[in-house]
């Protein structure tokens, strides 16, 4: 009844062809249209019923290449500027395949894959100058990492018995800026604290959390009988790439005895570039940092990380004490602590391998250079916008995000037209209530020519829209 291939030679031929097609796909996915809407018959084809009988792997693979591969969101493409998404690499894709071949379950146990993830933890400590006692874990995304950080901070504030007793009548409150990612709010919903326990502090003129407003709100909350327990700063806001004043926030958090968490989804990895690292100075003072490998590090989706200064607090928030104490000291079930003691999942895939391959293959110097290059291109784009009389720069790029608009043209509609043209794919957002074109430069493949293509497409489509009105 085994599911292994019956005809090994035939399967290998199909497997090698699939690998070649994947590599070809990465090349072709970086050319041609950035995105195209899938035809109705393709979309409809996914309504086919559950297969009772199988068919040859080669048929299924051919189907994948016809119906799935051509219709992705386009984030491998150098002219994809939408949201903040990584471009992926062939190296990362191969690592993902090798990880699947091992079928390793990284919940724990005495095995080399666990050591690979532990090495990622050590490297993360080094990058952010965290102490030896700091813990970390590879997770699916910064959304999950932020959620886990809120749970750890809450458990630290209320004590581990709160895991059994719940929130009781604790009146915990936390602080973040209005520019924080909406997953932070969701973290408060999911942990049972409620999103009203998250105070949204206004931003200053540079889109950073306004510290005076923060201090005032904390004082008001204390006076009203609330218990402030957490402060969440952002390194690289999703709208404009702003970085909160992390050193000052860290000091304030220490003074007020708040857990200081940094959502550094993409911005945290500015530490890889000597040129950009000063922009996130103070991040090394955080109690915890959440960041993505799948954005600026170009690791294929999905992979992110949670780093926690107080490893004990981290473990106390997730480990189940009974299981923890009964772990074997020898044999396959040895190797305490297990990764399952640091997160909500028991079975876990080997996401760490594609991170490991990425770091080992490219090295942090080169990865830092690709990150710095995206910021240089963002400054170049801002410069180009300033030179076009029809365009208006809405905010200076602090990292790799540029927001601008075409005067007199509604940005939301223009962005849809740009996406539908297949030429370039920015996204839109609202800044101070006004819709703007947002270009996030994340992809390691993006060049100056792609920036020029974006400017030209915006000018051309905005003008053609003008004449249609
Ligand atoms: C992308 C992003 C997130 C969410 O991260 P995921 O990996 O998509 O879950 C959170 N915060 C910021 C600032 C982001 O840019």
Cβ within 8 Å of residue 68, ≥6 positions away: none
Per-residue model confidence (pLDDT) at position 345: 96
Alpha carbon 61 to chain centroid distance?
Answer: 29
Instruction: Tell me how far the alpha carbon of residue 142 lies from the centroid of ligand 1, in angstroms.
Output: 5
Residue 469 has pLDDT above 70, yes or no: no
pLDDT in tens, 95-137: 999 999 999 999 999 999 999 999 999 999 999 999 999 999 9
The average pLDDT across 293-313 equals 98
The average pLDDT across 129-154 equals 98
Instruction: Tell me how far the alpha carbon of residue 347 lies from the centroid of ligand 1, in angstroms.
Output: 23
Separation CA 264–CA 53 (nearest Å): 47
Nearest CA to ligand 1 atom 12: 265
- Best of 147, 183, 190 for a ligand 1 pocket test (most atoms within 8 Å of beta carbon): 183
Separation CA 147–CA 290 (nearest Å): 10
pTM check: above 0.85 = yes
Separation CA 466–CA 16 (nearest Å): 51
Q: Element (H or E) spanning 387, and its range?
A: helix 352-387
Separation CA 136–CA 151 (nearest Å): 14
Contact 294, 141 (CB under 8 A): yes
pLDDT in tens, 335-372: 889 999 999 999 999 999 999 999 999 999 999 999 99
Contact 86, 443 (CB under 8 A): yes
State which ligand 1 atom lies nearest to the alpha carbon of 236. 13
Q: Element (H or E) spanning 308, and its range?
A: strand 304-308
Residue among 262, 259, 328, 331 at smallest CA distance from 292: 262
Residue 185 has pLDDT above 50, yes or no: yes
Separation CA 297–CA 91 (nearest Å): 12
Separation CA 139–CA 352 (nearest Å): 9
Other residues' Cβ atoms within 10 Å of the Cβ of residue 205: 7
The average pLDDT across 218-235 equals 98
Cβ within 8 Å of residue 114, ≥6 positions away: 106, 108, 335, 338, 339
Residue 462 tokens read as: 């905005």
Separation CA 56–CA 183 (nearest Å): 42
Per-residue model confidence (pLDDT) at position 324: 65
Other residues' Cβ atoms within 10 Å of the Cβ of residue 206: 13
The average pLDDT across 257-286 equals 98
Alpha carbon 320 to chain centroid distance?
Answer: 28
3-state secondary structure of 153: helix
Alpha carbon 46 to chain centroid distance?
Answer: 28
Instruction: Tell me how far the alpha carbon of residue 183 lies from the centroid of ligand 1, in angstroms.
Output: 7
Residue 467 has pLDDT above 60, yes or no: no
The average pLDDT across 278-293 equals 98
Given pLDDT bands bounded at 50, 70 and 90, which one contains residue 333?
confident
Which residues form ligand 1's pocket by a CB distance below 6 Å? Answer: 84, 141-143, 181, 183, 234, 236-238, 263, 265-266, 292, 304
Residue 400 has pLDDT above 70, yes or no: yes
How many H-runs (helices) and E-runs (strands) does the chain carry?
15, 11
Pairing type for strands 434-440 and 401-406 reads antiparallel
Separation CA 82–CA 34 (nearest Å): 11
- Choice among 14-23, 84-93, 216-225, 319-328 with the minimum mean pLDDT: 319-328
The average pLDDT across 396-418 equals 96
Per-residue model confidence (pLDDT) at position 30: 85
3-state secondary structure of 355: helix
Nearest CA to ligand 1 atom 5: 142
Across all residues in the chain, what is the average pLDDT? 96
Per-residue model confidence (pLDDT) at position 334: 86
- Best of 73, 83, 143 for a ligand 1 pocket test (most atoms within 8 Å of beta carbon): 143
Given pLDDT bands bounded at 50, 70 and 90, which one contains residue 466?
low
Contact 401, 378 (CB under 8 A): yes
Instruction: Tell me how far the alpha carbon of residue 241 lies from the centroid of ligand 1, in angstroms.
Output: 12
The average pLDDT across 419-425 equals 97
What are residue 75's phi and psi, to 5 degrees?
-75, 0
What is the b/e burial string over 313-322, where b = at least 16 CB atoms within 10 angstroms of the residue's CB?
bbbbbbbeee
Given pLDDT bands bounded at 50, 70 and 90, which one contains residue 210?
very high
Separation CA 239–CA 429 (nearest Å): 7
Residue 468 has pLDDT above 60, yes or no: no
| Residue in this structure with the two tokens 């219709």, named with its chain if needed | 71
- Best of 292, 293, 301 for a ligand 1 pocket test (most atoms within 8 Å of beta carbon): 292
Given pLDDT bands bounded at 50, 70 and 90, which one contains residue 69?
very high
pLDDT in tens, 55-66: 999 999 999 999
């Amino acid at each position: 009844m085994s599911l292994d291939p019956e005809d090994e030679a035939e399967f290998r031929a199909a497997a090698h062809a699939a690998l070649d097609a994947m590599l070809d796909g990465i090349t072709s996915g970086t050319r041609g249209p950035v995105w195209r809407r899938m035809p109705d018959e393709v979309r409809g084809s996914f309504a086919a019923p559950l297969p009772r009988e199988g068919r040859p792997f080669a048929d299924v693979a051919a189907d994948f290449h016809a119906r799935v591969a051509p219709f992705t969101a386009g984030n491998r493409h150098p002219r994809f500027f939408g949201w903040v998404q990584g471009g992926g690499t062939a190296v990362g894709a191969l690592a993902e395949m090798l990880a699947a071949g091992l079928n390793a379950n990284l919940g724990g146990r005495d095995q080399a894959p666990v050591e690979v993830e532990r090495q990622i933890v050590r490297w993360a400590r080094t990058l952010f100058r965290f102490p030896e006692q700091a813990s970390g874990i590879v997770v699916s995304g910064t959304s999950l990492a932020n959620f886990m950080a809120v749970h750890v901070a809450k458990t630290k504030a209320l004590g581990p018995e709160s895991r059994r007793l719940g929130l009781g009548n604790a009146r915990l409150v936390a602080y973040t800026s209005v520019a924080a990612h909406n997953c932070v709010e969701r973290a408060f919903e999911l942990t049972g604290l409620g999103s009203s326990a998250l105070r949204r502090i206004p931003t200053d003129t540079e889109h950073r959390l306004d510290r005076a407003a923060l201090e005032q709100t904390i004082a008001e909350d204390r006076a009203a009988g609330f218990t402030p327990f957490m402060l969440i700063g952002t390194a690289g806001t999703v709208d404009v790439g702003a970085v909160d004043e992390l050193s000052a926030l860290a000091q304030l958090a220490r003074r007020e005895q708040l857990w200081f968490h940094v959502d550094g989804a993409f911005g945290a990895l500015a530490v890889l570039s000597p040129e950009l690292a000063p922009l996130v100075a103070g991040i090394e003072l955080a109690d915890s940092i959440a960041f993505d490998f799948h954005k600026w590090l170009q690791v294929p989706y999905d992979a992110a990380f949670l780093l926690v200064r107080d490893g004990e607090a981290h473990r106390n928030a997730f480990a189940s004490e009974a299981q923890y104490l009964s772990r074997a000291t020898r044999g396959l079930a040895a190797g305490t602590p297990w990764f399952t003691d640091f997160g909500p999942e028991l079975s876990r895939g080997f996401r760490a391998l594609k991170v490991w391959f990425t770091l080992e293959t490219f090295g942090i110097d080169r990865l830092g250079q690709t990150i710095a290059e995206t910021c240089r291109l963002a400054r170049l784009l801002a410069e180009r916008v300033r030179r076009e009389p029809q365009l208006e720069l809405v905010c200076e790029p602090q990292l790799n995000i540029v927001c601008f608009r075409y005067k007199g043209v509604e940005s939301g509609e223009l962005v849809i037209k740009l996406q539908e043209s297949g030429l370039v794919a920015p996204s839109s957002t609202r800044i101070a209530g006004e819709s703007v074109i947002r270009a996030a430069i994340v992809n390691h493949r993006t060049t100056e020519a792609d920036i020029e293509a974006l400017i030209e497409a915006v000018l051309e489509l905005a003008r053609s829209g003008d004449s249609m009105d």
